[in-house]
Amino acid sequence: MDGKIAKLREFIKESEKIVFFGGAGVSTESGVPDFRSKDGLYNQHDVRFEGYSPEYLLSSSCLYNEPEVFFEFYRQKLNTENIKPNAAHYALARLEAQGKLTAVVTQNIDGLHQKAGSKTVFEIHGTTARNYCSRCGKKYPGDHIFRSTEKVPRCACGGIIRCDVTLYGEQLPEDAVEGAINAISNADTLIIGGTSLMVYPAASYIRYFRGRRVVIINKTHVPCDVRGAQLLEINEKIGEVLSLAVD
């Protein structure tokens, strides 16, 4: 791996506008389960949710048609209040502080990049760190749903207080998507980490990259078409790789 780390360091040294595009694998080293792996959220069997698909439990249909079921699942599976950033998050924050990294584009909803100190983060699937009333739009802190004693948390206006997460059946947040595409379009190096590039439309955003260097850091091989760019793939733990490369 030493040779590839040296190459990644070289890429970083030559770059001025790095963008990091990350998925669930970035947060698994913090103990946050991913979705589709053997031990992922979709393969965790809980008798209380038998008969429900994970996609339905995380959908707008479930939220509004069976809100008690939605919030029970949400509180059990997506509470990251006590989860801390890992080496990958901190390395990216340092890279931004050094003036090398211009943006993090993340498919994750856990807010760990911001906890680690990253400033420019485009959360294209939203975040559990923000909540709002579905009726009047009043904003609530990230821990409100997890600490509420109500089975279905409600605003003073009577509306359901929901997470600012893009659920199945909803459109991705326009501002985050535009910001992500703009950042990727202007990057000279794109680092892709902890994702299989199988989740769409998010994975399609990398086609906007026009820079010179692409780095893929993932435990398993990730097919990626990078026409005209140098490609470096490292199939190791992302926290270890980024720490070694940045430091």
Contacts of 65 (CB under 8 A, 6+ apart): none
Measured CA to CA, the distance from residue 170 to residue 60 in angstroms comes to: 7
| Residue 179 identity | G
Q: Is 138 helix (H, G, I), strand (E, B) or coil?
A: coil
Measured CA to CA, the distance from residue 128 to residue 110 in angstroms comes to: 6
The residues annotated as belonging to the active site are 125
Measured CA to CA, the distance from residue 143 to residue 228 in angstroms comes to: 45
Contacts of 19 (CB under 8 A, 6+ apart): 101, 102, 103, 104, 105, 183, 184, 187, 189, 190, 191, 209
Which token pair is 45?
């069997």
